[in-house]
Amino acid sequence: DIQMTQSPSSLSASVGDSVTISCRTSQSIDTFLNWYQQKPGKAPKFLIYAASRLQTGVPSRFSGSGSGTDFTLTISSLQPEDFATYYCQQSYSPPLTFGLGTKVEIK
Amino acid sequence: EVHLVESGGGLVQPGKSLRLSCAASGFIFDNYALHWVRQIPGKGLEWVAGLNWNSGNIGYADSVKGRFTISRDNVKNSLFLQMNSLRAEDSALYYCVKDVNGDYETGRFESWGQGSLVTVSS
C-alpha cells in the first residue's frame, strides 16, 4: 500500500496569509494526487486533482504542485472560509489512501 | 445537482452484520464508479471499497476484505455496503462517494453524501 505523510498536522495563520501544506508518498505516484477540504460537521470537498488541476468552482487562491513523491497545496491570501482540515489522497493504485490531514486554524 | 443520501447505520454488536444503502440522484447513475469512505469522528479518512459502473471491477481496503461487500443496483440508482463480522474498529461515519468516471481506480472523490454513522459496541 502507498503511505501518505502530510505535514504539518496543524498550523495557525491569519486572514491574508499564504500557507503551504506538504504531502509525501512512500513511492512515486506521478501526479495521481488529489486534495480535499473538510469543515467541521461537513463532508469533504474535492479541491484539486492530478496534483495541480483545480476542480470546477474552486477559487484560484488554491494551487497544487508536485510530482513523483512530493506535493504541496498552497493557499494564497487565506480567507475566513478556508479555515478547515485538508487531506491529500493518492489515486495511483488501490487501495486508495489518504494523508492524516492538516488542520488550518485561525491565529 | 448530485445528491447522495446514506441510510442504514446504527448501533450493532460486535460480530453482527449491518447493511448500508446510498440513494443517488442528479446524475446518470450507471455512468459512474462509486465508493464507500469512512471516518472515525475527529479522525482521518479511510477508503473502504469501490466499484465500477457495471460492478465489473471491485476493490476493498485490506481492513475490510472478506468481511464487507460493496454492490450497486443500476435500476434503483442505489449503492450498498454489506458489513459482516463487525468490529469495534469499524465504528465510523460512512460516506457514499461518486467518482469522476466509470472506473473506480480513477479514484477521484468528486461528490459526497452526508454520511451514515455506524457504532459497533456491546
Q: What is the 3-state secondary structure (H, E, C) of chain A?
A: CCCEEEECCEEEECCCCCEEEEEEECCCCCCCEEEEEECCCCCCEEEEECCCEECCCCCCCEEEEEECCEEEEEECCCCHHHCCEEEEEECCCCCCEECCCEEEEEC
Asked whether A77 and A32 are in contact (CB, 8 A), the reply is no
Q: Which residues contact B43 (CB under 8 A, 6 or more apart)?
A: none
Q: What is the pLDDT of residue B110?
A: 98
Which pLDDT tens digit goes with each residue over B51-82? Answer: 999 999 999 999 999 999 999 999 999 999 99
Q: Tens-digit pLDDT profile for chain A (107 aa)?
A: 999 999 999 999 999 999 999 999 999 999 999 999 999 999 999 999 999 999 999 999 999 999 999 999 999 999 999 999 999 999 999 999 999 999 999 88
In A61-79, which positions are buried (b, 16+ CB within 10 angstroms) versus exposed (e)? ebbbebeeeebbbebeebe
CA dihedral in degrees (B80, B6, B35, A64; nearest 10)?
A: 180
Q: Please name the helix (run of DSSP H) or strand (run of DSSP E) that holds residue B69, with its range, or none.
A: strand B68-73
Give the number of other Cβ atoms within 10 Å of residue B34's Cβ. 26
Q: What are phi and psi of A93, to 5 degrees?
A: -160, 145
For B18-57, how does the pLDDT look when each residue is reduced to its tens digit (9 = 90+)? 999 999 999 999 999 999 999 999 999 999 999 999 999 9
Chain A (57-96) residues lying within 8 Å, Cβ to Cβ, of chain B = 87, 89-91, 93-96
Cβ contacts from A onto B, under 8 A: 59
At residue B89, the 3 state secondary structure works out as helix
What is the SS3 assignment for B4-40? EEEECCEEECCCCCEEEEEEEECCCHHHCCEEEEEEC
> Which whole-number Å values give the CA distances from B114 to A45, A94, B6, B94, B111, in the listed order?
11, 24, 7, 9, 10
Please report which confidence band the pLDDT of residue B90 belongs to, taking 50, 70 and 90 as the band edges.
very high
For residue B88, the SS3 value is: helix
- B47 contacts A49? CB cut-off 8 A: no
Q: What is the DSSP letter of B55?
A: S
- Minimal CA separation from B17 to chain A, in Å: 23
Chain A residues with beta carbon closer than 8 angstroms to that of B96: none
User: Which residues of chain A have a CB within 8 Å of the CB of B32?
Assistant: none
Q: Which pLDDT band holds residue B111 (cuts at 50, 70, 90)?
A: very high
